[in-house]
A and B are shown apart, each in its own frame.
Chain A
């Protein structure tokens, strides 16, 4: 196979044939290697769900082109919670990650890990750590979450660095006791940075709230979906059929009120039931706006 060491075949034609054969052999052999490498590379870029990237990390596909695997982010993290994937670990070797349950991101205001990145795999345009999207907390196990069980654990809510923004507590009746309130932790994706402090702090044996990479945790509405109440607010009035009050033929002495929480009620004695309001044409379709 060594071209140099072989005596040159007589005649330029034979030499050319030899050259082409050697070239083809090499191209095929190395091409096969490349094929294997390519498939491996595509596979190895899949990130396991427990592994989170440092703040500002580009989306995974771009990240695997951009990360130089130097570990500068690991070095400059003052809390030492970042690791580089070792050979044999089920992710792209040498890339940085953290496991929230072991050591979450403490959300330094100056984001030193990101500043240390020489390639922009951690995007330098992120300057406010509260805007980081390392992942999204999900209350995965509602069966064991202590707040779901009716206790006032609230730990995830309390440790959240974006208190009352990323996690809020939604009161709900406790159907078990009938008299108490459940304070249900609700994660808000527009504020949650995926730092993992909630997962780390969750007191259950295995965390009931976990941070997942965004691609796993976040759903998305279909592009054509519109939320009627949002659109209504934007337009300053209903966009669909005019809100014409329905006329009921009610038994005497009863009335119907449209306000939330109202409905059918008895007209107090001596009071004249109000006449139904005249139909209102919504602002949005007044004139030729639509």
Chain B
């Protein structure tokens, strides 16, 4: 039952089994793969459920979904889109406003498994330290992309955006986009923990702003049971979000209110004391904590 620093969640695995200790991770991977498959069964089997990609998609010829960040860049670049794009943006904004903007990052984004993989390997190899950069850098980059769009009159960020590049690549042909993914993997592995998703990516930064007041949040009803094993910190892609809620810093209620929590649920998976559950920011639970054996 001793959690070695190289295997966060080992205690839970020993106690409740591997599947229970990876429940949300498995669901998340299923969501990521499932969403990708929805896009791929069209070109693969001519089964057209969803057309397009994460920038804009059209489901069953009725549901438009538009990436709001991209639409904002488009407006900055000086173009006003057609009606369907606007409807799509409204749906997406409302969805993530309720479910947490960065839920996109951990449940939808195709770069997330790459970043998670790098972090997993980093932990297993015991790699520590690396370059340091403020997590607010992404907001600066976000502002910069909008300014560049306005100055150049192009959606400039789209030309280098690894998120869109990957997703579009998987559906329409990868080209050299693999190189970008490899670069992110190596950067996250060797240069900076969660370097891309946690510090630089303006897409995530934008979604965090949408989800600032999200209803779906991770709650900590049993935060008094915390035994400081630090497993949640080891797996959390945005470590700074846990402490205020867990340690009641400045009287923070037992709910993670930080906009950059990605609702990935890994803390729920790995906590042997069942401190975390999914719930609403206003209280109440959406998932029952697994009863601890102690």
State the A residues within 8 Å of B (CB).
Answer: 1-4, 22, 26-27, 29-31, 33-34, 37-38, 40-42, 44-45, 61-62, 64-72, 74-76, 83-84, 86-89, 92-94, 116-121, 124
In the complex, the answer to whether B148 meets A37 with C-beta atoms within 8 Å is yes
Q: Which of B66, B148, B152, B160 contacts A118 (CB 8 A)?
A: B66
A91 to B51 CA separation, bound complex (whole angstroms): 23
Q: Is A86 in contact with B55, judged by CB distance below 8 angstroms?
A: no
Are A87 and B153 in contact (CB-based, < 8 A)?
no
**Of the residues B64, B74, B172, B240, contact of A71 by C-beta under 8 Å:** B172
**Set of chain B residues within 8 Å of A67, measured between Cβ atoms:** 155
B141 A86 Cβ-Cβ under 8 A = no
B window 89-118: CB within 8 A of A: none
A27 to B140, CA, bound (A): 7
Nearest-Cβ distance from residue B68 to partner chain A, whole angstroms: 12
Of residues 162 through 190 on chain B, the ones whose CB sits less than 8 Å from some CB of chain A are 164-165, 168-169, 171-177, 179-180
Q: Say yes or no for B129: interface residue by CB 8 A criterion.
A: no
B253 interfacial by beta-carbon distance below 8 Å: no
Given A88-B176, A119-B81, CB of A75 within 8 Å of CB of B51:
yes
Contact B174 A72 (CB under 8 A): no
- Do B53 and A124 have beta carbons less than 8 Å apart? no
Q: Contacts A26-B136, A84-B168, A118-B88: A42 and B152 contacting too (C-beta < 8 A)?
A: yes
Report how far A87 CA is from B167 CA in the complex, Å: 12
The answer to whether B172 touches A74 (Cβ under 8 A) is yes
Q: What residues on A are CB-neighbors of B137 within 8 Å?
A: 26, 29-30
Counting chain B residues whose Cβ lies within 8 A of the other chain, the interface size class is 35 or more
Contacting residues, chain A, for B172 (C-beta < 8 A): 71, 74, 83-84, 86
CB pair A118–B84 under 8 Å, yes or no, is yes
Contact of B77 among A65, A71, A93 (CB under 8 A): A65
Interface contacts (Cβ under 8 Å), in number, total 170
Is B52 a contact of A70 with CB atoms below 8 Å? yes
Of chain B, the residue at the smallest CB distance from A76 is B51
Verify B180–A87 contact, CB threshold 8 A: yes
**Is B247 an interface residue, CB under 8 A from the partner?**
no
A214 to B199, CA, bound (A): 43
- Report whether A86 and B175 are in contact in the complex, using a CB–CB cutoff of 8 Å: yes
B207 within 8 A of A: no
Q: Which A residues touch B132, using CB under 8 A? A: 1-2
Nearest residue (CB) in B for A25 is B134
A3 CB contacts on chain B under 8 angstroms: 134, 136
Given A33-B144, A65-B155, A71 and B133 contact (CB-CB distance below 8 Å)? no
| Distance A62 CA – B74 CA, assembled complex (angstroms) | 10
A84 CB contacts on chain B under 8 angstroms: 168, 172-173
User: B175's contact among A30, A72, A87, A116, by CB below 8 Å, is which?
Assistant: A87
Q: Is B151 an interface residue (CB 8 A)?
A: yes
Closest to B140 in A: A30
A37 in contact with B175 given A1-B134, A94-B164 (CB within 8 Å): no
**Cα-based distance from A38 to B145 in the complex (angstroms):** 9
Does chain A have a CB within 8 A of B289? no
Given known contacts A2-B135, A86-B169, is B88 in contact with A44 (CB within 8 Å)?
no
Shortest CB-to-CB span from A77 to chain B, Å, is: 11
CB distance from A129 to the nearest CB of B (A): 19
18 contacts between A and B (CB under 8 A): A1-B134, A41-B156, A42-B152, A64-B153, A64-B155, A65-B79, A68-B66, A69-B155, A70-B53, A71-B171, A87-B174, A87-B177, A87-B180, A92-B154, A94-B158, A118-B56, A118-B66, A119-B79
Interface centre among B42, B70, B134, B157 (most CB of A within 10 A): B134
Complex contact B153–A72 (CB within 8 A): no
Q: Contact between B144 and A69 (Cβ–Cβ < 8 Å)? A: no
Kindly state the separation between the CA atoms of A61 and B77 in the bound complex, as whole angstroms. Answer: 10
Q: Indicate which residue in A2, A27, A65, A118 contacts B78 across the interface (CB closer than 8 Å).
A: A65
Closest to B133 in A: A1
CB–CB B168/A72 < 8 A: no
- Knowing A68-B66, A86-B173, A92-B159, the reply to whether A62 touches B79 (Cβ < 8 A) is yes
Residues of A within 8 A of B31 (CB): none
- Alpha-carbon gap, A61 to B143, bound state (A): 22
Residue in B53, B74, B143, B158 whose beta carbon sits within 8 Å of that of A93 in the complex: B158
Contacts of A34 in B (CB 8 A): 144-145, 147-148
Which residues of chain B are within 8 angstroms of A71 by Cβ–Cβ distance? Answer: 51-53, 168, 171-172
